[in-house]
Structure formats: structure tokens, C-alpha cells
Structure 1
Amino acid sequence: MNPREFKINIPDERIEDLARRLRATRWPAAMDGGNWDDGASLTFMRRLVDHWSNRFDWRAQEARLNRLSHCMGTVDGQELHFIHQPGHGPSPMPLVLTHGWPGSFTEMERVIPLLADPGAHGGDPADAFHVVVPSLPGFGFSAAPASPGTSAFKIAEWWLKLMKGLGYERFAAQGGDIGAGVSTWLARRFPDQVIGVHINYIPGSYRPPLGAGQPPVTAQEQAYLETVAAWSSAEGAYAAEQATKPQTLAYAMTDSPVGLAAWIVEKFRAWSDCDGDIERVFTMDELLTDVSIYWFGQMLDASFRIYKENRLRPLAFEASERVATPLGVAVFPRELPTPPRSWVERVFNVQSWTTMPRGGHFAALEQPHLLVEDVRAFFRPLRR
């Protein structure tokens, strides 16, 4: 794989182009500028763009992010960006952390040092991990896939080769959102190489076997299915578009930074434990750093298209199939609809199921210490 050092360095002309586009924004009207019921609030978006234009310093964010150990490598012809932070402890466990949409590798910025060097952060050095944080293909600084078929199924294979290329023959996995899908595919496809998997989201494409020979759907499971249907009807338009016509969406988002910001920021508000006040959980700079990475990456068609790929290759199981790899689940209260434990145990070997006191979909950003402690606790017995 020949990993090589990488530093983020966005050309000045692309930063200047962004500034010009922000100045030239054509704003829509709104019946109620402060309301989020119809989508991103006009009042908030005007404040966000004012901050982006007049106070946000990309070079400062770039310098901070460059303190992480960035690398580039090639797996099966696919150029991948990743962070590789060796652990400090008596026997660190290799761990691949995978982000989702609309996140990026920056989601993991707070948890990387806690996982890699617990002794320096009030923890036990015996809980140390060698931490690897790849950017999904077409996200951040990983190249866009060159051909169709790059679903979580395929990415799991690339992660296996990435980890082996770094010298890790056996390793652990953790993820949320799309990262949970990649992690569970790792558990399913490569049980001999994957020590265990910890997730803070149940993949939306997960389909356990049902019907003849299977346990009947419980009342709790049926209530979950009804909740999912209601949520999809009220909140799922973004996923339907990205999973069916991602290219059409990409034209608008590639051309308008404000349109892209509205598309992303609305999800950070809706899916986080913020009680409607997005700035209670995320700073303007945190939001804009994530949005800027999508903007500068110029691969929005690919970052949307992964929804279509995952729809075409869902995490569906045959009647007799079971996954033996140990699974740990952290359930945050403001996560998207989450099934009961019994639904996941129809297929997976669930060894840990933790109900968290607070936090939402972006667990590594919202509650890094809660997430890290649960990851440490889950993998502790698997180190033996």
C-alpha cells in the first residue's frame, strides 16, 4: 500500500472562489425566517454565512487539523486518505473508526487522542488503541470511486486491505451512520480478522430474516418498524433523493456553497441532542469546517451516491445466517430511530448494549468521553 504523509493545503484560489460565491449568494424568501419546520432556517443561514464570510478562518482550521497524523494510500487502485495514530500502552489494539454522512474524519478529532493515549487523559494505558480513521471514498480527501459498486460492502474489503497494509492482521472496528454499515459488513465478511465491532447506529439497510422458521415480530419490534415508517415519511426526503438521483442533487450543491451548507447543517440540528438550538452543541467553526471539507473536496456526487450504492446492496440476511463477531451497541437518546436489542440479536452476537444518558447521531462530536468509555469497556474483555 505504501502509505505516505499528507498535509491539507487548499490552494488560495479555491478559498478566494468560495469567498466570491458567498458574496454573490441569492437568498430565498421564507414565510417565517426563524422557523426550521420547512428546512434550514433563513435567519440562521444568514448568520452562518456572515460568519463564514467575515470571521471563519479556514487556514486556522487547516493548521489545527494538520496536527493529526494524515496519510494517503492506495488500495486496489483507490486513493484513500486516513489518519493513523499509533497507540501508547502495553499492547494497543488496532481500531478502524469510520465516519458517515454528513460528517467527515473531523468527527473523530476529539476521540482519537482519548483512544490512542488513555494514560495521558486520565485513563488506563491498557485500554490503548492504534487508531486508524479513513475518509470514505468520495469524502474528505479520499478520491471518488471510479466505477459503480462502492457500497459499504465494498468499502469493508478496502478497510481490511488498508489495515493489513499498515501491519494489522487482526483489528477492531467502530462507526456510526455509514460507518456502522462498513463496520457491520467487516464483522459479517471477515470474522477471522475482526476482533469485534462497536457501533452507535444500527444501519438503515439492516434487514434480518423474517417469516417461516423465524421468531415472530414482537410488539416492541413492530412499534419500531412503525416509527421508522413515520420518520421516513416526515424526515427521509434527503435519503430518498441521495439514494435515487444523487447526480441531480450534486449540480446544485457543487455550485452553491450556501445550498450545501443548508443541506448539511439542517441535519446537524435535526439529529443532535440540541433541543432545537444547534449552537448549544456545535460551534459555527465546527459546522463550517465540516461543510468546507465537503466544498473543497469537490466530490459531492460521490458522497451522495453512496446512499444509492447501499440501497442496491443492503445489509440483508438469509434465514440461517448469523454473525459470530462480538458486537457492542451504544444507544444515544437523540439518535435516529433505533430498533430494540432483540431486532439486532436476530442476526448479530450482541455482547454489550448501552443506553446513553445524552447525545445524538454525531456521538464522537457530541459526547466523545461517553463514546470512548463505552468503546473501551466493550473491547476490554476481547483483549485477552
Structure 2
Amino acid sequence: MAMLNVLKHRNVSRRSLLSGFAAAGITAVLLPRTSNAADVVGAASEEVRPFKVEVSEAALADLRRRLAETRWPDGETVMDRSQGAQPDRLKELVGYWQSAYDWRKAESRLNSFPQFLTNIDGLDIHFIHVRSRHENALPLIMTHGWPGSVFELLDVIGPLTDPTAHGGTADDAFHLVIPSIPGFGFSGKPPATGWNPQRIAAAWDMLMKRLDYNRYVSQGGDWGAIISDALGRQAPDGLLAIHVNRVERATTFPADAAQALKNGGPAPDSLSQDEKVVFDEARDFLNNGFGYAAIMSTRPETVGYGIADSPVGLAAWLYDKIADWVYTRGDPEQALGMDAILDNITLYWLTNTGPSSGRIYWENVMSGAKLTEVKVPVAVTVFPGEVYKPPKHWLSKAYPKLIYYNRASKGGHFAAWEEPELFSQEIREGFRSLRS
């Protein structure tokens, strides 16, 4: 990979970002530098601009109008979720979205954390940066996934940066950097191909060093895990370890099981009964739950027209996978709450990042990256509601430096969003050996 060119197209990228926000009715406020801002971003503040967002009332009124004018499809012909998002559940969500949901609360909460933009390789990257008050805090970059956003991670900011207020000790503290993946949220939308997980990982390393963090750890689930894995394979100077709560099947499945899965056959006899359960779950996911990824890996632009034009189309597209992957299968309102679900969906709508966020699937396939082993120490937490739950001994191929493995008692694919206190404890435990 060519070295990242930090300054290339910087002014063009900034104009494009601001004009894109303006078209969506969003005022992107680039705050003047103050002494406090400089304290937060450290010596690298010359390249970092404080940021906050203010959505216009016109944009919110347009959203409500579009919701009111929805043309609904016919109801499903089954009594379960096998055909996708169910109209009764979605109509309830949309009715609340139109009449009672308050984006201003979400906006205020987001703006309560220090936010910034910085240009890396010609693209503006949005990130939250919260420094712990504890002297020996460990710098940590955390990455969200799809169909999520930085909203997934807001509830863990307190427990990780201020552990003494959340059942931990000062030795558990982290400085947190939470970026929006390119094409998601308030980060720039790549104008050309090439922003695959490997390039994003290299950008994250540059971001941490720009913030004067020369020693740090990385964490992620979903795409955040894939990006953390890519960082671990690159193993840049200063990366101490990674933690993931989602593991790549391609690098951890036993060879005979992978071949059986590819051929559509049953689990091989070499697997134990517990391992056959993991195999059957993986096969069920590939057969019945992977269509969304196949579409975005091959035709992200085609599906993009509908989710850019219709807020209900976008909501159905995102809600279906949120419902699939929470621990309370099919009932995300119980796991997260309706407001939290709508905070995330509304962010996608207001930034028109439904189409651009899906392109990471296409980019990942087109990159052709070889999934070599991760070279740095790795901590893994397996949550019971995750799609793929490999046993510890399967991970040695991809993670020869496995330093921590635990199977949590509750929580699903969106672990930080669903169980922030438990998730935070897992992060503390996973990286604890690095502090001694």
C-alpha cells in the first residue's frame, strides 16, 4: 500500500464534506481552536478541527413528511420473520419516529462528547476523543460496524474513561478514540475506490499517532473487528494488542469444516458435538441470513437508491439486521429501546450514508486481501447472541498470540450497545495483562 498522503486534496475534501452536510440540512460547525481543544487533541491539534453538528428544522420536517407519505408494501405471507422486517413491528417504529421521536436529544448527547475532524489520505475522518482523568490510562481506538455507528459505543465511554465511577479502578482507565468509518456518519464519503479495511486500519494508526498516542490498543466488533484484525496483521509500531468481539470465520474454521460448509454438506465427524452446533449455526447464517451482505458486496449502488430516497426503506434495511443480531432475537426494542434504534437510523438518514456505508462490503471483496495471521496479542470475547461463536482452540490459527478468551453470559452482536457495563468489563480484562 502506498503511504497515506495526509495533505492531498485536503481543501477539496473539506468543501465536499461541508457541501454534503448542507445538502442534507446539516450545519457542520467547525469550532475555532481553543486552549481546551488543544489540551484534548495534544500536540497534533494543527491537523485536528473541533466539530459539532446541528441539524436544521427543515431537514427534520422533511423526514416527518416523507414518513407520513410512505407507501407500504403488502404484508408478509408467513407468521414469522423469515421474509424480513415485519410490517407490524416496522409500522410501530415508524409511527413513533414520525410523531414522538426527538432527534434533538440524540444530537445533544452526541455533542456532549468532544468531536473532531481530521483529514487523512484526502478524506475527512470524524471521531470522538475523550481523555481519561487518570494518569496512566491506556489509549484505545474503538470502531463500530454496520448497521451501526458511533451511537453503538457511547454508553461505554463513561465506564472505560472513568472506571472508578463504574466499579473499576484507576488502573482500568482508557483514553478513547471512536472514529466513524469512512462513508458512515459524519466522516467523509470516499469519492473513489480503495477504502477497504486495510486502508482504514492504516488510517487509524495515523490517527492515533496524530493524537500523540505512540502506544495504543484497538477494539472492534463487526467491521470494527475486521479493521482491528487488519491492524493486527499490519502490526504497526506502537500497536500493543487488539480485542475483538466478532471473529472471522474464514481464518478460524477447521479446514474440513470449511470444505463441508462450502460443499453444503453436514458437519464432518471430526467435530465434537459442541463444534457441530457452531458449524450448524454458521451454515444457517450463510443460507438464511447472509443475503444483505451478498447484495452490498456486489450491487451496493442498486440498493442505495431506495434507502437514499425512502426513510422507511432505510429503516427496514437496518432494522432487519439489528433485529436478527441482538441477543433478544427479533426484539431489538427490548435489547436497545426504540429511541436508541432510531438515533442510529436517523443518523444514517440525515447524513445520507445508507448507500456509502454499504460500499465497505464491496471494497472488502474487491481488495482481495490475504487473511494472514494477526501478529500482535489478541483478546477475544464471545457473546452468546453473536452469529459465530468459535471455541477457544479454533482461534490459534488466526491468533497465535491469544492472551484472553472468555464467553460472556449475555449480549449479542451489538455487545457494547446492548450490555455496556459487561462489555466494558471485558475490555478491561482483555487488556489487563498489558498494564503489568
TM over 0.5: yes
- CA distance in structure 1 between the aligned counterparts of 2:342 and 2:155, rounded to whole angstroms: 17
Aligned pairs for 1:333-348 (under 5 A) are: 333-348=384-399
What are the superposed Cα offsets for residues 195-234 of structure 1, whole Å, 9 maximum, x if unpaired?
A: 11011001355478969xxxx9952567645542331111
For residue 302 of structure 2, give the secondary structure of its aligned residue in structure 1. Answer: helix
Uncovered stretches (5+) of structure 2, i.e. residues with no partner: 1-45, 257-267
Following superposition, the deviation at residue 254 of structure 1 comes to 0.2
Aligned pair 1:316/2:350, yes or no? Answer: no
- CA distance in structure 1 between the aligned counterparts of 2:328 and 2:107, rounded to whole angstroms: 27
Aligned pairs for 1:279-294 (under 5 A) are: 279-294=333-348
Q: What is the match of residue 141 of structure 1?
A: 186
Q: What is the match of residue 185 of structure 1?
A: 230
Aligned pair 1:242/2:287, yes or no? Answer: no
Aligned pairs for 1:1-384 (under 5 A) are: 2-31=47-76, 35-203=80-248, 206=251, 219=271, 224-225=278-279, 227-313=281-367, 316-317=370-371, 322-348=373-399, 349-384=401-436
- CA distance in structure 2 between the aligned counterparts of 1:309 and 1:222, rounded to whole angstroms: 32
Following superposition, the deviation at residue 123 of structure 1 comes to 1.4
- CA distance in structure 2 between the aligned counterparts of 1:206 and 1:256, rounded to whole angstroms: 38
Task: Determine if contact 1:75/1:158 at 8 Å carries over to the other structure.
Answer: yes
- CA distance in structure 2 between the aligned counterparts of 1:150 and 1:204, rounded to whole angstroms: 22
- CA distance in structure 1 between the aligned counterparts of 2:432 and 2:208, rounded to whole angstroms: 20
Task: Determine if contact 1:39/1:266 at 8 Å carries over to the other structure.
Answer: yes
For residue 82 of structure 1, give the secondary structure of its aligned residue in structure 2. Answer: strand
What are the superposed Cα offsets for residues 237-258 of structure 1, whole Å, 9 maximum, x if unpaired?
A: 1010011100000000000100
- CA distance in structure 2 between the aligned counterparts of 1:146 and 1:105, rounded to whole angstroms: 22
Q: What is the match of residue 18 of structure 2?
A: none
Segment of structure 1 superposing worse, 145-154 or 26-35: 26-35
Number of matched residues?
Answer: 377
Taking only aligned residues, the RMSD between alpha carbons, in angstroms, comes to 2.1
TM-score for the superposition, normalised by structure 1? 0.93
Task: Determine if contact 1:25/1:258 at 8 Å carries over to the other structure.
Answer: yes
- CA distance in structure 1 between the aligned counterparts of 2:139 and 2:215, rounded to whole angstroms: 7
Corresponding letter in the other structure for 1:95:
L
Segment of structure 1 superposing worse, 326-335 or 299-308: 299-308
Structure 1 residues 159, 236: CA separation in 2 closer, same or farther (over 3 Å shift)?
same
Following superposition, the deviation at residue 35 of structure 1 comes to 3.8
What are the superposed Cα offsets for residues 285-322 of structure 1, whole Å, 9 maximum, x if unpaired?
A: 1111100011111132220010111123366345xxx4
What are the superposed Cα offsets for residues 136-195 of structure 1, whole Å, 9 maximum, x if unpaired?
A: 000010011121111111100000001011011121000000000011111110253211
Structure 1 residues 93, 47: CA separation in 2 closer, same or farther (over 3 Å shift)?
same
TM-score for the superposition, normalised by structure 2? 0.82
Task: Determine if contact 2:205/2:236 at 8 Å carries over to the other structure.
Answer: no
Uncovered stretches (5+) of structure 1, i.e. residues with no partner: none
Task: Determine if contact 2:249/2:388 at 8 Å carries over to the other structure.
Answer: no
Identity of aligned residues (%): 38
What are the superposed Cα offsets for residues 263-296 of structure 1, whole Å, 9 maximum, x if unpaired?
A: 1111111101114332211211111110001111
For residue 161 of structure 1, give the secondary structure of its aligned residue in structure 2. Answer: helix
